[in-house]
Structure 1
């Protein structure tokens, strides 16, 4: 990775606040910092609670995109899934209608303040809209303990789940859950997400036999090339996912998915459909269920329209400076 001077990053930085059409991860606006370099644009958008050491990996990813560009693709099209937040069942058809041609849906479950019955009703609504031939996966974001996860999966297995993403928080819990599912004769795949991107050693998932599928996000792993190295070492099927990115950040996820030697599952790269604004007029959204690899260049008028307030600009400048110290 070419490491440019900090002043160059701060000079080229644009901070935007993009409105969401559906509350997601507890927020209604998504702030990200966009950086322009000699190879294009990169996105720095670690969630607000991330401290500088972890945020530095996101900055490395943005710098790679802006100054090095992406590796050559082995495919032009990347199949993606629809994403269904923890909405009421009657809101599901409206959410799914935003996703052109997607035959896979990822459904959020284990939302704080909601019960398993809420999850069952939401998943049933997704099945009713998409039909029996669609792939339905669920994402608990580590919200269950092992006993709760086992009970929930038993209750939901009738909906023919493709896999369950991060049912428990720790790698050890995932490994224990897989053992208990096997003992109970429940044949459901377990996918690891946070256990890969939010730990010091993402390969512990492999070492402990904690997952059947690896969900990989580019930015938390420091960029496309590093994500490719980790995916190779994981020796698990990979699903590429986004981190609620603008089209600039999404292009890195698509570049990663397009460069993987094998891509057996639809990827979670359709979250721009959750936005009511973007930094390009032609957003990187699914067409006939897929995304096409392409370079993204923000429009000056849209950067201005969605520009964050001066105090937020200053906050992000300080955040980039703090993260830069760890590169």
Structure 2
């Protein structure tokens, strides 16, 4: 979808939301929000991503803000709790922010932590959720194959729903899946989908049992639905640590999936100290309603970044917009 830059800039707001606990190496999440004919939308690639990768996030924002919504097959989506790399003693306080969630995704292999600390954290989550709770792990590709196999054995007793991106590369995932298949612990792919030149390769290589899909990094709701359909694997929708505006995009993706057997990672607004809407998309009884949100002017003002950061983001937006326009022109020429 092509949208003129002049139609984007008038409503642009650049904001920063502090996190309750350091997560993914950051203490605050910055995002660009703007309004299109279909409603408010979000552009928030992480600062370290280059412009080519970030352009997919802008395509997603434009699609959500300007295109007609895709048909939905559900109005509510069950979500999981997200547990950062806190100490075992801190797990209960984190889970309290996700009332009614029967599933928890636990971060492991964070810098500066040990496997023993990961085991203690997972054990605490299992103890609180009980035997009927669902526990999944997210390693962000930080293990090599031998380390991952060792960790699977150390953590298997906690009845894991799946382990997300235990290794970074598709060949490593394929080898690990071969080694641990007898254990019955599924492997989910995240980075091997959203950061890949070919997001279907992980399915063709039989390297994963589940796809983790995120609307922004994959270029939008429609693009993500196409990937899931082509891969032929069960999918779980997750967030990219979005504001409620970005979470709404993820909810529309989850609502449109023909099948959705897993609780989705869309409850992450609970990790923020605040949000930019009066009624944030935080779990109630473990569920989120599928809806669009409208930011509060007062909350946008309160969370606005300084002029230096605003300029940095606007420059990035302009560069990514040029890439999106160039790609659209190339496609039109090819047709």
TM-score, with length taken from structure 1: 0.98
Q: Is 1:289 aligned to 2:274, yes or no?
A: no
Q: Is 1:241 aligned to 2:238, yes or no?
A: yes
Partner of 2:95 in structure 1?
96
CA RMSD of aligned residues (A): 0.8
TM-score, with length taken from structure 2: 0.95
How many aligned positions are there? 324
Partner of 1:306 in structure 2?
303
Conserved? CA contact 2:204–2:231, under 8 Å: no
SS of aligned partner of 1:34: strand
Q: How far apart, in 2, do the equivalents of 1:70 and 1:249 lie? A: 14
The one-character-per-residue Cα deviations of 1:150-190 (angstroms, maximum 9, x if unpaired) are: 000011100000000000001111011001113xx321100
Which of 181, 204, 207 is the matching residue for 1:207?
A: 204
- Structure 1 residue 69: Cα displacement: 4.2
SS of aligned partner of 1:250: helix
Conserved? CA contact 1:43–1:248, under 8 Å: yes
- Structure 1 residue 191: Cα displacement: 0.2
- Structure 1 residue 10: Cα displacement: 2.0
SS of aligned partner of 1:191: strand
Q: How far apart, in 2, do the equivalents of 1:148 and 1:202 lie? A: 25
Partner of 1:116 in structure 2?
115
4+ aligned runs moved over 2 Å, structure 1: none
The one-character-per-residue Cα deviations of 1:68-104 (angstroms, maximum 9, x if unpaired) are: 1421211011010000000000000000001110000
Q: How far apart, in 1, do the equivalents of 2:216 and 2:108 lie? A: 24
Partner of 2:63 in structure 1?
64
Conserved? CA contact 1:42–1:63, under 8 Å: yes
Conserved? CA contact 1:70–1:252, under 8 Å: no
Partner of 2:136 in structure 1?
137
Q: How does 1:186-265 map to 2 (within 5 A)?
A: 186-265=183-262
Q: How far apart, in 2, do the equivalents of 1:249 and 1:163 lie? A: 25
Partner of 2:159 in structure 1?
160
Q: How far apart, in 2, do the equivalents of 1:100 and 1:76 lie? A: 19
- Structure 1 residue 11: Cα displacement: 2.2
Q: Is 1:180 aligned to 2:179, yes or no?
A: yes
Partner of 1:105 in structure 2?
104
- Structure 1 residue 7: Cα displacement: 2.3
Structure 2 unaligned runs (5+)?
A: 325-335
Conserved? CA contact 2:40–2:293, under 8 Å: yes
Partner of 1:40 in structure 2?
39
Partner of 2:329 in structure 1?
none
Q: How far apart, in 2, do the equivalents of 1:66 and 1:12 lie? A: 12
Q: How far apart, in 2, do the equivalents of 1:255 and 1:38 lie? A: 16
Partner of 2:333 in structure 1?
none
